[in-house]
A = this chain, B = another copy of it.
Amino acid sequence: MTDIRATLRARLDAAVGSTQVLTAPADIAPYLTDWRGRYHGNAQAVVRPGNTGEVAEVVRACAEARVGIVPQGGNTGQCGGATPEPGGDGVVISLARMNRIRAVDPDNATLTAEAGATLVAVQEAATDAGLHFPLSLAAEGSCTIGGNLSTNAGGTAVLRFGNARELTLGIEVVLPDGRVWDGLRGLRKDNTGYDLKQLFIGAEGTLGIVTAAVLKLFPAPRTRATAFAALADVPAAIALLHAMKQALGDRLTGFELISGPSLALTRRQFPALPDPLPGHAWYTLVQADDSAAGSPVAADLEQALAAEAETGTVQDAVVAQSGEQARALWALRENIAEAQRLDGPNIKHDISLPVSVIPRFLDEARAALLAALPGVRFVTFGHLGDGNLHYNLAAPAGTAPETFLERTPAANRIVHDLVAAHGGSISAEHGIGQQKRAELVRYKSAVEIDLMRTIKAALDPAALFNPGKVL
């Protein structure tokens, strides 16, 4: 045992330099726990390669020593996908040092970044070139592009721009046997065989390590408009979504649903936030952007909302008159998660459904959950335009946190069973990681699980890549 470890250590030192091979418990501790402190694992070393060749050499060394490999980017995942397993004896490969923007090509509207570049660094490089990289999410200051691609990250602009997958033209991958696949093509059309990049995007590091990517850029938004609308129920919100799409086309970049109780909770925890339209059951936050300077997008948004108020779809609405007002409206949405944390324990679900079945799902889930957990409080919000709900449950007043959280498995079963029955997904944007492995097997068909395992066995026959994740 000691010999093998010593041999591996010597190879890793030779590959990346001994200062980039961490083994002291205090040095490796930050890499063994996820950012929320919910997952804890073990590894014999953390290696920090500085370029793709070094990653390949580290992978070859680990493959020959038959030790597991856990790729890690910004360590901001929600499901423990970048945290090694408890009792693991493998190697964490941190991509943090590989953070260069390799190229920006304005005429091709592409940017090539290394895996360890933070999302915000990519956004800024695009902006510096007069263009726009639309992926945006709460962790953008610390999450990395490699992690964004490996989890097919979503965020606030999916309605218009798609997930990370849709924003990616090419990738570079170190394969489980240490070979490098250079798929860094910046082409919008390329029908030459299987689209291999799709396999690695969203695979959560179980099929190889994404080391770089060519990303699509877009015209920068020059005119922005934000509105807040009050509605009687969710079907009205869906009707409004439909109308806004028709009126605004792709200038519609965000359409967020917020329940009255979610808004009330947020304002209770953050009393300085505005209360633009008090006393309604449901709200939507509507964002519209135009790349043309001086576009009438705000007037168009106001007119479209007025038309929906005439028909009774909208009960009341307000359009932000300044950037400051727009930011305050967005703060109502963005602070819900933090307000929940301050309010007490939560059982959270990151689900998606066909938009058309969301009203029925909400009715059925509410009835089933109230029967199983009397007094449970619903904190429902999310990206309605994508069919993605953050369907969260708060403890009934007076219930002890532990007592409530003990019911998590029962609540998950009710919510996920209904999601599956309605053709939805139990993980819309956060992935599987360690958290939802058992749920994945429960809800996927045997054929689909078998196909995934076939792919995994074909590409990583020794099962060394990110053991204990996804499959």
Contact = CB atoms under 8 A, between A and B. Distances in A.
Contact of A291 (B162, B246, B451): B246
A418 interface: no
B454 A189 contact: no
Nearest to A192: B427
A424 B192 CA distance: 11
B428 A190 contact: yes
A106 B356 CA distance: 8
Contacts of A151: 191
B458 A191 contact: no
A88 interface: no
Interface string A288-331: 00111000000010000000000000000000000000000000
Counting every copy of the chain, the complex holds 2
Contacts of A190: 352, 425, 427-428
A353 interface: yes
Given A193-B452, A251-B249, A300-B292, A187 B459 contact: no
Interface string A244-276: 011111110000000000000000000000000
A180 interface: yes
A444 interface: yes
A355 B106 CA distance: 9
Interface string A164-183: 01100000000100011111
Contacts of A191: 151-152, 154, 163, 202, 425, 427-432
Closest 8 CB pairs of A and B: A198-B198, A250-B250, A107-B356, A458-B458, A190-B425, A249-B291, A189-B428, A108-B354
Interface of A: 105-110, 151-152, 154, 158, 160, 162-163, 165-166, 175, 179-183, 185-196, 198-199, 201-203, 207, 218-220, 222, 238, 242, 245-251, 290-292, 300, 352-357, 383, 386-388, 423-432, 436, 440, 443-445, 447-448, 451-452, 454-455, 457-459, 470-471
